[in-house]
Structure 1
Amino acid sequence: MTKQVVFSEEANPPLPIYSQAIISGKTIYVSGSIGIDREFKLVPGGVQAQTRAALDNMTKILKGAGVDRSAVLKCNVFLTNLKQDFAPMNEVYQEYFPKDPPARTCIGVAALPLGADMEIECIAELP
């Protein structure tokens, strides 16, 4: 097995304990993104603003791997308030995946890093 680390200068920098993404074979495993800026501060505006920031960051990482969102096969979304934030998160999510959306799981969790409301990760495929 060979693996290649993906690093995008455009995306938020990863902490030293993980990579933005890893390519193995033709599969890209993108680490979770939360709604933060480059200085690791949560973006204001609640779950919708955080979802937009996280998806923008994920998009930049995918671009660094040589693909766009159409290559995404599966997303996992984590919400700290599933009951309240599921519908607002979905409104933004649909903007990024308007046609033929990837498979997805959405999970309620007790807490996320930096007090984020949501986190998203994905698996994508190289052409």
Structure 2
Amino acid sequence: MEKFNSEKAPEPVGLYPHARKVGNLLFLSGVGPRERGTKKIPGVELDEHGNITSYNIAEQCHSVFKNVRLILEASGSSWDKLVDVTVFLTNMDADFKTYNAIYAEYFKDNQPCRTTVEINKLPTPIAIELKCIATID
């Protein structure tokens, strides 16, 4: 099993690789919208204690999709090879409609299987995280 880490995607927040190859499948660890090398999270405003004061789900969606693409490319795969996407949202009622519209823009040509679930919280102050599986040669 081969491990991959992107030099452009945000650093993992724990001891895990960005992706692992098993056979012809590439499994991505959970990917959020953070920016590499900073504490900045596109679309998130924090107070001095690190609590979310406001967030923009559209900005987070664009950023998380960018990060997934960076990891796929660094691992030798590509966006069009995604076969399964699990999406974790922290506020389905408020964010699903916007997220679903942006998702449709990014996946109009490639339509992997998808599961979207609401969860209480993510490890960093973000509103969306993706878990992906792609094929790889």
For normalisation by structure 2, the TM-score amounts to: 0.85
The answer on whether the counterparts of 1:42 and 1:114 sit within 8 Å (CA) in structure 2 is no
Say which of 77, 98, 121 aligns to 2:131: 121
1:115 aligned counterpart, secondary structure: coil
The answer on whether the counterparts of 2:87 and 2:131 sit within 8 Å (CA) in structure 1 is yes
2:29 aligned counterpart, secondary structure: strand
1:33 aligned counterpart, secondary structure: coil
Return the offset for 1:73: 0.4
Q: Where in structure 2 are the equivalents of 1:70-81 lying within 5 Å?
A: 70-81=80-91
CA RMSD of aligned residues (A): 1.3
Structure 2 unaligned residues grouped into runs of 5+: 44-54
Among the aligned pairs, what percent are the same residue?
30
Return the offset for 1:99: 2.0
CA distance in 2, matches of 1:55, 1:31: 14
| Stretch moving more, 103-112 or 90-99 | 90-99
> Which of structure 1's runs of 4+ aligned residues deviate more than 6 A?
none
Return the offset for 1:49: 0.7
Return the offset for 1:40: 3.3
For normalisation by structure 1, the TM-score amounts to: 0.91
2:35 aligned counterpart, secondary structure: coil
Structure 1 unaligned residues grouped into runs of 5+: none
Say which of 2, 5, 16 aligns to 1:4: 2
**Does 2:59 align with 1:49?**
yes
CA distance in 1, matches of 2:8, 2:35: 11
